Each structure stands twice: as structure tokens, then as C-alpha cells.
Amino acid sequence: MHERDVALFDAIASALTATDVEQALEAALREIVHALDLATGWIWLVDPETERFYLAAAHELPPYLREPVQMTGDLCWCMESFVDGDFDSKNVDIIACSRLRRGAEEGGSALTLGLQSHASVVLRFGERRLGILNVCPALPRKLSEADLRLLSVTGAQLGLAVERGRLADEEASAARSTERTRLAREIHDTLAQDLTAIALQLESALRDVPRESPAFERVSTALDVARAAMAQARASVLSLRTDPLEGRPLGAALAALARRLTSETGMRVTLHDRAAGALPYEVEGELFRIASEALTNARRHAGAARIEIALEDDGAAVTLRVRDDGIGFDPSVRDQTRYGLRGMEERARLAGGSLRVTSERGRGTSIETIVPRARA
């Protein structure tokens, strides 16, 4: 085996030890581009929930492909080949790039660096096809047979890392869903039914207590408390069964949100999940809605190319941060016809925390929600 190949395998293996799959893919792609002296490379993955492609990693894209609108999950020639099964007979193929062709037609070779085609490698785990690795050599160089064989093997490494990350997410989501179902059943079968029985007994007792008796007011108050507790128990059961996170941990739900927005807009939305443990369900639901609103605002108003979501836990508090590289705005000037920021502030208070908005014209926007664990 070529010394270069061994060095690349070692570098990719080291990069793929990162727990954040997309961060690992970005590092591995960088090693591949440098080792093979390539001009650029990018990785499409298929979102297991929507079955749409999204841009999971990219390195040294030509100017045209750096525009988010050019890198949405809308099908292109390599994706169509993937969907049609044209990659089944061999793992590596050279494909003309419809996105680069469109860029050359619109702005000439300056926007595409003269690139017209790429080698495409299907990322697999067993028979499951997970996505596509696309790489372009700098002109006029062409990829050799040895290069293509090496890419095929590296594609297998990347596919294994993607599948490993997804299995971990699925396991966490399954455990979360099972726990929510168990809690809902226990609340319904024990607490709610016991409170119902207590309320019935109090109603019966109240009918036998004269209104002028001092005990009447006490029994009446106890009945009101029991009814309020019953309502809260029913609300808890409903909350557990109608979860905005759909039974997933907060990090997994945010990752799915990021993938969907990346696919739809081409903006690179990445999640850095460093949260240590779960929060109460209602708190996680509010944080998820805050992140969703922040992403919606960035999509509509920011003109961003990249958005980073960070979920951090220092033991004393959980911080959710959504930061974009868009046009920014003056936070002191509020448009009273828009309720996005006001709604996020209200949700932060409901979660027991606070919201801070930092922005500057031309410098992007950061929305940070901090929830002390003692109040969650």
C-alpha cells in the first residue's frame, strides 16, 4: 500500500473519532482534499426522516457553490444517479456536475474555477446507501485509477461513521420515547385515578356537611385542590403524548431541524450538542420552539450562509445559542408588527430562563437562552 494511502487512512480514522458526525465529516473531507491534492469536495447525506439530501460537509467550494441557494437538496445529476441506482454496479464514477455547469453558464469559469465534473463516491453501510462524496481535482489534473480506488475505501470509512452516529441517535430516541410512554401510563393509571377517587369522596362528603359548618369550607378547599391536581395530571399526560420533539432528545430534535433547513435553503446549519443530561420535558419543548423561531427568523431576514446551534451544559445551567453570519440588525429597534423576538422571550421565561439577543449590522446575530438547572 502506498505510504500516502496509509497516512490518509490514519488521518481519517483520527478525524472520525469526533462525536459530532458533521464535524467529523468536515475534518475527514479536509484530509482527503489535501492528501489527493484536490480542488474541492463536498458531502451530501440523505436525511433519514425526510429522505431529502442536505449538505453535511464542504471544503474549498468554488465561489458559485458557496452561495447557499446553489447547494439546496434539490436533485442534481449525481443525486439522480444515486436515486436511480446507477451507482450500484460500482462505487466510484466520474459525473458531469449540473450545478457547476449552471454556474459556468451564469458567470463563467471565474465562478466555478473551470471545474465541470467530479468523482462521486456513494457512502454506504452494508447495502444501505447514506449519501455521496463528491471531489474535484484541480485542473488540468485528472484522478488516477489508484486515486479512485482510494476514494472507494475512504467512502466506506465515512459511511461507517455516519451509520454509527445515526444508530446512536436512534437508540437515544427510542429510549426517550419508551420513557415518555411509561410516565404517561403511570400518571394516568395511578396518580390521575387516585386523584379522581379523592375528588369523588370529597364531593360526597361535601353533600353531607352543612354549609354553616366550619368543615364545609375546608372540605370545599380540599376538593378544589384535588380538581386542580387532576387537571395538572391530565395536562402532563397530554404533554407526554403530544411532544413537539416527537419523543426525541432535544439534541436529536435540533439536529433534525438543522438538516431540514440545510436541505431546503442550502444554508449550512450545524449543531454542537454538549448537553450532559435531559431537562424537564416542558423546558426542552420551549427550547426547541425558541431554536425553531430563531432559525425561521434567520431564514427570512438574515441572508446568512451559515448558522450554528450550540447546546451546552455546565452543570449549573443549560445554554441554547443560535448564531448566524447574516446581515444583522439593531436589537434596540423593535418592529412592533413582528412577534418573533417577543415570543422567544416569553418562551424563555416559561422555561425558567432568560433570552439575550446580540447583533450588529453586517456582523450577524446571536440568540442565547440560558436556563438555570435549579429553575428548570
Summarize pLDDT for 185-244 with one digit per residue, the tens: 666 567 767 777 787 888 888 887 888 888 888 888 888 887 887 777 766 655 555 566
Q: Strands 306-313 and 268-274, how do they pair? A: parallel
pLDDT at 356: 94
Provide the grid cell at 190: 395511578
Range of the domain at 312: 250-372
CB 366 within 8 A of CB 357: yes
Summarize pLDDT for 145-202 with one digit per residue, the tens: 888 888 988 888 899 889 888 877 666 665 556 665 666 666 656 776 777 778 788 8
> pTM of the predicted model, to two decimals?
0.76
Provide the grid cell at 48: 433519514
Collect all residues with Cβ–Cβ distance below 8 Å to 195 and sequence separation of at least 6.
226, 229, 230, 233
Same domain, 205 and 316: no
Provide the grid cell at 221: 378547599
Same domain, 293 and 194: no
pLDDT at 221: 84
Cα–Cα separations (whole angstroms), residue 66 to 17, 62, 103, 105, 284? 27, 7, 11, 16, 33
Count of domains in the chain? 3
pLDDT at 242: 52
| CATH number of the domain encompassing residue 136 | 3.30.450.40
| CATH number of the domain encompassing residue 259 | 3.30.565.10
Cα–Cα separations (whole angstroms), residue 324 to 5, 24, 139, 309, 358? 37, 21, 34, 9, 11
Average pLDDT of the chain to the nearest whole number: 85
Same domain, 134 and 191: no
Same domain, 34 and 95: yes
Instruction: Indicate the residue among 169, 195, 215 that finishes a domain.
Output: 169
Same domain, 159 and 25: yes
Q: Which of 96-100, 163-167, 339-343 has the highest mean pLDDT?
A: 96-100
Cα separation, 371 vs 281, in Å, equals 13
Collect all residues with Cβ–Cβ distance below 8 Å to 29 and sequence separation of at least 6.
41, 42, 43, 57, 58, 59, 133
Listed range (29-33, 121-125, 138-142, 324-328) with the worst mean pLDDT: 138-142
Instruction: Indicate the residue among 215, 241, 267 that finishes a domain.
Output: 241
Same domain, 278 and 337: yes
